[in-house]
Amino acid sequence: MEATSSTSHDPALFHAPLLHHPRRWSSRPLKGFAVIIGSVVFLLSLVILIVNQSPEPLASNPSSVTEAGSYSMAAQPRGIAEGVSAKSNPSLFDKVGFNWTNAMFYWQRTAYHFQPQKNWMNGPLYHKGWYHLFYQYNPDSAIWGNITWGHAVSKDLIHWFYLPLAMVPDQWYDFNGCWTGSATLLPDGRIVMLYTGSTNDSVQVQNLAYPANLSDPLLLQWLKYPGNPVVVPPTGIEDDEFRDPTTAWLGPDGSWRIAVGTRFNTTIGTALVFQTTNFSDYELLDGVLHAVPGTGMWECVDFYPVAINGSVGLDTTALGPGIKHVLKASLDDTKVDHYAIGTYDMITNKWTPDNPEEDVGIGLKVDYGRYYASKTFFDQSKQRRILYGWVNETDSEADDLEKGWASIQTIPRSVLYDNKTGTHLLQWPVEEVESLRLNATVFKDVVVEAGSVVPLDIGTATQLDILAEFEIETLVLNSTEDEVSDCGDGAVDRSTYGPFGVLVIADDSLSELTPIYFRPLNTSDGSLETYFCADETRSSKAPDVTKRVYGGKIPVLDDENYNMRVLVDHSVVESFGEGGRTVITSRVYPTEAIYGAARLFLFNNASGVNVKATLKIWEMNSAFIRPFPFEETLFQEMVAST
């Protein structure tokens, strides 16, 4: 799982100045004219090759898609009328569309993140040697609608096989879609799946499904309980604001409990708790698991225990000394996943946050970037809790229809309690992703002067795993509070100690770039308060792409340097600060920093300090993600052996 080769470089060879213009980055040219001409010829050849060999034909224009995938410039985001969160970007409707080429669209597709073969992209589980991923999928188009359950399996969470659809909306109780659900593994080996269905009258109900054959490691056939729905909206709950059942947990009385997200009086986000002994009959328990005024509808509620020693993941049913509980909700109003850590009382079925000022929806975020509808599951094979998140596109629906696909899943992340801070979770890419690492390049003690950019000579920088550590060389004796707050307006906003970090998916001229950075700020009491940020504002020249500055506050303890890990995979960038205390997912759609033109840089736009950086950077291989080869004897034997 380590690199096949490693190269160290003399950092003194790689310095280029950064102009002190508040809105402009600049660096010295890195290549000679002949090299540039050669690169252009190579890129043109590569574009022709890619266009000729693209595995999925791309529609020439949005009007060429089928009726089910028709595109309309609706004023309301897609999905709102159906009673779910927005699935499109209406803010882009007044933007002039960029003239994307097929080669550009092809580059945007990720190489080692899971996504369907085509079109729009629930309840993950581990069974008989295979990881199963169930995901909401539109088999007809690259926009939201006709939601079915796609199904894929993997041996290692990285290389995936597509399987036939697991469930389709073919009953009155899921006529308008088979929406989010969760799997529960029972002690006797049975598997139950609860999912939200939107009925023929657009009422949101909870339904039960289960495998037709538990001895099948691929779980190819699923049966819907004939008595569905098993849970309907209680009195006083809106018919179209009641969805996304959690994995069940077992109480001391021998009954199972699930939580379902909803809202009261349109503004109070809430999780209700239901009790069952057989998964077909349910009782609404008194009160609520938790509610937070002003947070609106809670979607995709997740509820699970974490060990305060931070060593292993826990089964959802775990309870006792040394255990905290995490409550997470996806806020329909803001399209952000929030979590809080607290204490669960099994007798009263109440959860209480450790810090009410950091309650669900008003405090910590699971991910500070483009990320939503996350879900964890307990991996009993390795005693770890694994988190999945959905990442949608930030371009227009017209572009999605033209390229023929939309949305991805993040790299699976392990989740642990951060016992150093006692306030955060730690998210980290599963160890299996390291199997994709190829050659490594090491840079040691690179001094990045204030206001400068340093190119890192690693070649093409489209698929990378970056580990970087930064040290501020000299603290400025300055107690003046910085005028910039949080992440500012991006990396162009200068303060005494930052920002500093890396520029990913950048071209040689820095006309397109995505900074991932730390911003330590002076506070009124003379201490430093640090933010971890991602700036997409110059990631693309295309006007019809959403480009924002994302980030949040991050604890950096006295015995710690500033460290980050960044996974770069074409149009997605996942950034992990301080071991995963703060995480940011970005979608970027460059027009020039693609293929062989993508580069990596260090930068320091602080006004008062130099920083010293040490990095180890791996080129990443592509994952094998393809249809399951049922016809191949080798795989048939593999399945039989599990």
Query: In this prediction, what percent of the chain has a pLDDT beyond 70?
Result: 81
* Partners of residue 487 on adjacent β-strands: none
Clarify whether residues 396 and 508 are in a common domain.
no
More confident residue, 640 or 372: 372
Residues 472 and 607 in one domain: yes
Asked whether the beta carbons of 488 and 549 are under 8 A apart, the reply is yes
pLDDT digits (tens, 9 = 90+) for 5-31: 445 544 433 333 343 333 333 333 333
Domain of 467: which CATH number? 2.60.120.560
Report pTM: 0.86
Q: Classify strands 611-620 and 437-448 as parallel, antiparallel or unpaired.
A: antiparallel
Contact residues for 341 (Cβ-Cβ < 8 A; gap 6+): 306, 324, 325, 326, 353, 354, 417, 423, 424, 425
Residue 64 sits at φ, ψ, to 5 deg, of: -85, -5
Distance CA 348, CA 366 (A): 27
Q: How far apart are CA 400 and CA 25, in angstroms?
A: 31
Q: Are residues 359 and 497 in the same domain?
A: no
Domain extent for 417: 119-429
Q: CA 173, CA 440: separation in Å to the nearest integer? A: 53
Q: What is the pLDDT of residues 230-268, one digit of tens each?
A: 999 999 999 999 999 999 999 989 999 999 999 999 999
Judge whether 30 lies within some domain: no
Instruction: Clarify whether residues 419 and 318 are in a common domain.
Output: yes
Query: What's the pLDDT band for 77 if we cut at 50, 70, 90?
Result: low
What local confidence, expressed as pLDDT, does residue 21 receive? 38
For position 53, what pLDDT does the model report? Answer: 31
Tell whether 140 and 261 lie within a shared domain: yes
Both 182 and 316 in one domain: the answer is yes
Q: How far is CA 525 from the centre of its chain?
A: 36
Q: Are residues 336 and 191 in the same domain?
A: yes
For residue 492, tell me if it sits in a domain. Answer: yes
Amino acid letter, 76: Q
Domain count within the chain? 2
411, 466: one domain: no
Residue recorded with tokens 């979607």: 299
Same domain, 240 and 133: yes
Q: Give the pLDDT confidence of 137-168 residue by residue, as tens digits.
A: 888 866 756 889 999 999 999 999 999 999 99
Closest to 566 in 3D by CA, of 539, 538, 542, 533: 533
Same domain membership, residue 420 and residue 336: yes
Residue 241: inside a domain: yes
- Asked if 396 and 324 sit in the same domain, the reply is yes
| Domain of residue 161, CATH code | 2.115.10.20
Q: Are 332 and 341 in contact (CB under 8 A)?
A: no
Structure tokens at 10: 């003399």
**Beta strands 582-587; 572-577: pairing state:** antiparallel
Residue 454 lies in a domain: yes
pLDDT at 64 over 50: no
When mean pLDDT is compared across 88-102, 207-221, 269-283, 515-529, the lowest value belongs to 88-102
What is the rounded CA–CA span in Å between residue 259 and residue 240?
17
Note whether residue 637 is domain-resident. Answer: no
Collapse the DSSP code of 252 into the 3-class scheme (helix H, G, I; strand E, B; otherwise coil) and give the result: coil
Does residue 337 lie in a domain region? yes
Spatial separation of the C-alpha atoms in residues 460 and 43, rounded to whole Å: 12
**The two three-digit tokens of residue 283, written as one number:** 């009782």
Task: Note whether 220 and 327 are same-domain residues.
Answer: yes
pLDDT over 90 at 429, yes or no: yes
Q: Which H or E run contains 639?
A: helix 633-641
In a domain, 268, yes or no: yes
- Please name the residues in contact with 72: beta carbons below 8 A apart, sequence gap of 6 or more: none
**CA-to-CA distance for 576 and 386, rounded, in angstroms?**
16
